[in-house]
Structure 1
Amino acid sequence: MTFEEAIAYTETLLSRSDLNDAQLQAEITNLVKTANGARGFFVCFLTGEWELADNPSPAIIQALHAVPNAIAELLVKNLAMSTAMAITHRRNGDEAQAQSSDRVAKRTALLIEKVDLSEVQAIATQMQDSAKTNAGEYAAFLEKWGYDEEQKQAIAKVLNK
C-alpha cells in the first residue's frame, strides 16, 4: 500500500459506521504494521474532521500498540512537526493553518498520553536532546526540515511535557 492509498483507506475506514470496535481495531492494526500505512493513518487521523481524533476510542489505542517502536517515533515526530509548523504559519500570517497545526499537536499529545508507550518517552528524550544541542539521534531530522532555534526550542518544550 502506498502512502496515498493508506490516507484514502484510513478516510474510508473512519467514515464507516458499520464497524464494531473489534473490527476497527483489527483494520487499524493491519494498517499501522507497514510504514506507509502508519504514516497515512496518522496524516488522515490527525488532520481530518474526526471526533475519534479528539477522543480516541480504546480500539484505536489498542491498535496503536501493534508496533510500539514505529508508532512511538511517528507520534513524537508528528508532535515536533506540528509544533514547528504552527510557528511557521503564524510567521506567515496564516492563523487558520497555525490553528490546524495546533490541533494536530493537541491530538498527537492526547494520543501519546493515551497509548502510554515507554518507547515514546525514550524517543521524545532523544528528540528533545537533539533540539537543544543540534546533535544526536534526531539532529538530521530537525535539519532536514530546516527548523530554526525558535522552532527547536518549542519542540524541546512540548516534548518536556
Structure 2
Amino acid sequence: MQEPTNSDLQSLSFQGAIAFTQTWLGQVEAQKISDAEILMQMQAILSHQNGVRGFFVVYLTGDSPLADQVPEIFLEGFTKAAAQISEILVKNVAMSTAMAIAHGRNGDAENQQGSEQVQRRSLNLLKQLEQRDVIFKNERLRLLQTLEAGSGDYQDFLDRWQYEPEQCDAIHVLFQSIEIF
C-alpha cells in the first residue's frame, strides 16, 4: 500500500475510511508502521466525520486484537482526537447496548454477540479515555442527563433510533455504573 498523505486521509469517503482502516490495522498488527506514523495517520483519519465513522466501524466490529487490548499509541491518538470522537464513542456504547437487547428479543444470537462485542470494546475504550481526558466523561454525562430528564442534547439521537424504555433503561444503568478503574 502506498503511504497515504495526511491530505489523502482527511478527504476519505466513509467507504474509503473503512477500506483504509482494514488495511491499516493489519499493518499495525504486523508492526510495519512506526508509532510516529500511527499517531499521524490516526490524527488525519479521525479529523473528519467520514474518517471517524469508517474507522470505528472497522475497529469496533472487526476481529483485530487491537480493539480488545488497546495499544498505548492508540490511546494517545484517541486522546488527541477527543473533540472529534467523544460523541461517536458514547453513541457506540448506547447503540450497541440497545441493539444487543433488540437482537436478543428477536432470537438473533449471532448479531446479539456482535453488538455485545462492540459494547464491550466501546465501553473499555471509553473508560480508558475518561482517565485521560475530561471531554469523554462530559459527553457520557450529557447522554445520562438526557436520559434522566427526558430531553436534552441526546434526545434527537434517542428519538431517531426509537429506543424503547427497556433499551433506554439499560443504557442509563450502564452509563451510571461506569467507574474509572
TM-score (norm 2): 0.85
- Aligned partner of 1:24 in structure 2 is 38
Task: Report the RMSD for the aligned CA atoms in angstroms.
Answer: 1.1
Q: What's the counterpart of residue 81 of structure 2?
A: 67
Does residue 44 of structure 1 match 2:58? yes
Pick aligned residue for 1:131 from 147, 159, 169:
147
Instruction: Name structure 2 gaps, 5 residues minimum.
Output: 1-11
Separation in 2, partners of 1:70, 1:127: 16
1:57 maps to 71
Equivalences for 1:9-158 in 2 at 5 Å? 9-16=20-27, 17=30, 18-116=32-130, 117-158=133-174
How far apart are residue 131 of structure 1 and its match?
A: 2.1
Runs of at least 5 residues in structure 1 that lack an aligned partner in the other structure: none
Asked whether 1:8 is paired with 2:8, we answer: no
Q: Distance in 2 between matches of 1:28 and 1:61?
A: 10
Q: Say how many residue pairs are matched.
A: 161
Deviating more after overlay: 126-135 vs 98-107: 126-135
Q: State the TM-score, normalized to the length of structure 1.
A: 0.95
Q: Indicate conservation of the 8 Å contact 1:31/1:41, yes or no.
A: yes
Contact 1:28–1:63 under 8 Å retained in 2? yes
CA–CA separation in structure 2 for the residues paired with 1:93 and 1:134: 30
8 Å CA contact 2:48–2:84 kept in 1: the answer is: no
- 1:99 deviation in Å? 1.0
Shift of 1:78: 0.6
Is the Cα–Cα contact under 8 Å of residues 6 and 36 in structure 1 kept in the other structure? yes
User: 1:69 is matched by which residue type in structure 2?
Assistant: A
Letter in 1 for 2:170: A
Identical columns (%): 35
CA distance in 2, matches of 1:94, 1:42: 23
Deviations 1:44-95 (A, max 9, x none): 0000000000001011111112221221111101100000000010011001
Q: For 1:129 and 1:10, locate their aligned partners in 2 and report how far apart those are by CA, in whole Å.
A: 33
